[in-house]
């Protein structure tokens, strides 16, 4: 049967997805579409009244996540992060700064009574980006992924109304797994800037030197290091799915990055866990269809 036949639920969902993307976008939605297209696609599966709030959250995440890339020295990065801390403080005090992200984010915080501690944890986690030293071991890397990835997904779940314990735990696990997947995908980008997020002890055990990595010609042992990180990401996704029966259905749009992580991890495995494999640079054209199928089934 033709998967694109009229009336097929996947085709219907796909048409809906493209239709939702048509209207002129606001600042936050456009920023997310351009700089975090994966999350942009997942947000389109949320009920229309919630999308702007998700876009505001994801735009905030982009702002804090790019800090290391837009400053010339760590002190300037600390100043930028402090600006965001004060902005979050103002949002909760009812005195938001006039800013294209802060104002819609404040509205989302107010509407959904979002947990301030999660915002603070995310900003604090981004302080680690000011230190170019690689994490000591896999545990340190997972901790980094948890504080920089989990709060965003937990807050997104809260926006959907999924504030129960199971949904929040699933969001924490998905957010961590998604962040670990992103770290693997970012290996070449970071290496060009003489930075690495791969565990230092595993690099040493596998005979991979930082200089070779920075030259984009790492020793063969790099595949074993990446495989260990990929396994940690997949484990977090498996644990999140073990909670599926208890997770609120409304949380699905926040948890859909898990499906995208599956696709990326599959491609990484197919490439032999070589982060420099040029095939990994090709666009993942099946993203929309995969998300549509997952949304139709109600699975993350």
User: What digits encode the pLDDT tens for the residues 200-257?
Assistant: 999 999 999 999 999 999 999 999 999 999 999 999 999 999 999 999 999 999 999 9
195, part of any domain? yes
Give the 3-state secondary structure of residue 6. coil
Whether the Cβ atoms of residue 276 and residue 218 lie closer than 8 Å to each other? yes
The predicted structure's pLDDT at residue 4: 33
Instruction: Give domain status of residue 12, yes or no.
Output: no
Do 70 and 146 belong together in one domain? no
Cβ contact 171:254 at 8 Å: yes
Could you read off the pLDDT of 62-112 as tens digits, one per residue? 999 999 999 999 999 999 999 999 999 999 999 999 999 999 999 999 999
Domain span holding position 38 = 27-131
- Give residue-wise pLDDT tens across range 173-209: 999 999 999 999 999 999 999 999 999 999 999 999 9
- 172 and 255 co-located in one domain: yes
Rama region for 6: left / alpha / beta (φ>0; ψ in -120 to 50; rest): beta
Binning pLDDT at 50, 70 and 90, where does residue 283 land?
confident
Q: How far apart are the C-alpha atoms of 164 and 98, rounded to whole Å?
A: 33
Return d(Cα 215, Cα 83) in angstroms, integer. 35
Q: Nearest to residue 184, comparing CAs of 268, 128, 62? A: 268
Q: What is the pLDDT at residue 285?
A: 79
Outline where DSSP puts E strands in 162-282.
none
DSSP SS3 for 269:
helix
In this structure, what is the dihedral angle of CA atoms 290, 291, 293, 299, given to the nearest 10 degrees?
A: 120
Number of helices (H) and strands (E), helices first, in the chain? 17, 0
Nearest-angstrom CA–CA distance, 121 and 21: 32
Burial class (CB in 10 A: 0-12, 13-18, 19+), 22: exposed
With left for phi above 0 and alpha for psi between -120 and 50, is residue 247 left, alpha or beta?
Answer: beta
**pLDDT in the model for residue 284:** 79
Gyration radius of the chain's alpha carbons: 19
Select the more confidently predicted residue: 213 or 7. Answer: 213
Query: Per-residue pLDDT for 286 more than 90?
Result: no
Identify the CATH number of the domain in which residue 282 sits.
1.10.600.10
279 pLDDT more than 60: yes
What are 119-147's pLDDT values in tens digits? Answer: 999 999 999 999 999 999 999 999 999 99
Q: How many C-beta neighbours within 10 Å does residue 23 have?
A: 8
How far separated are the first and last CA of the chain, in Å rounded?
25
pLDDT at 140: 98
User: In whole angstroms, what is the distance from residue 166 CA to residue 148 CA?
Assistant: 20
Same domain flag for 243 and 174: yes
Same domain, 34 and 143: no
Interatomic CA distance for residues 79 and 149, integer angstroms? 22
73, part of any domain? yes
With 70 as the cut, is the pLDDT of residue 7 above it? no
- 4 inside domain: no
Assign 272 a pLDDT band (cuts: 50, 70, 90): very high
- 206 and 145 fall within a common domain: yes
Q: Could you tell me if residue 15 is inside a domain? A: no
Q: Encoding tokens for residue 183?
A: 């770290």
Do residues 19 and 44 lie in contact, with contact meaning Cβ atoms separated by under 8 Å?
no
Contact between 176 and 130 under an 8 Å Cβ cutoff? The reply is no
Residue 19 domain flag? no
Structural domains counted in the chain: 2
């Amino acid at each position: 049967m033709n998967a694109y036949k009229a009336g097929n639920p996947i085709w219907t969902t796909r048409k809906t997805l493209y239709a939702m993307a048509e209207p002129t976008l606001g600042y936050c939605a456009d920023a997310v579409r351009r700089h975090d297209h994966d999350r942009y696609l997942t947000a389109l599966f949320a009920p229309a009244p919630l999308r702007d709030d998700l876009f505001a959250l994801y735009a905030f995440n982009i702002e804090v996540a790019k800090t290391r890339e837009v400053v010339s020295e760590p002190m300037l990065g600390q100043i930028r992060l402090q600006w965001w801390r004060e902005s979050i403080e103002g949002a909760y005090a009812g005195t938001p700064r006039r800013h294209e992200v802060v104002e819609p984010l404040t509205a989302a915080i107010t509407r959904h009574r979002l947990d301030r501690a999660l915002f603070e944890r995310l900003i604090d986690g981004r302080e680690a980006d000011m230190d170019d030293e690689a994490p000591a071991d896999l545990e340190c890397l997972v901790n980094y992924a948890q504080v920089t990835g989990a709060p965003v997904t937990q807050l997104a779940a809260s926006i959907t109304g999924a504030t129960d314990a199971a949904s929040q735990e699933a969001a924490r696990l998905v957010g961590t797994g998604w962040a670990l997947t992103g770290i693997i995908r970012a290996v070449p980008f970071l290496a060009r800037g003489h930075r690495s997020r791969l565990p230092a002890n595993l690099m040493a055990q596998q005979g991979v030197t930082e200089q070779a990595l920075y030259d984009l010609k790492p020793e063969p042992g790099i595949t074993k290091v990446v495989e260990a990180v990929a396994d940690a990401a997949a484990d977090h996704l498996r644990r999140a799915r073990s909670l599926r029966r208890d997770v609120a259905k409304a949380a699905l749009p926040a948890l859909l990055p898990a499906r995208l992580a599956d696709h990326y991890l599959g491609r990484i495995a197919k490439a032999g866990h070589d982060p420099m494999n040029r095939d990994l640079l090709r666009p993942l054209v099946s993203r929309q269809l995969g998300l549509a199928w997952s949304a139709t089934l109600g699975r993350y």
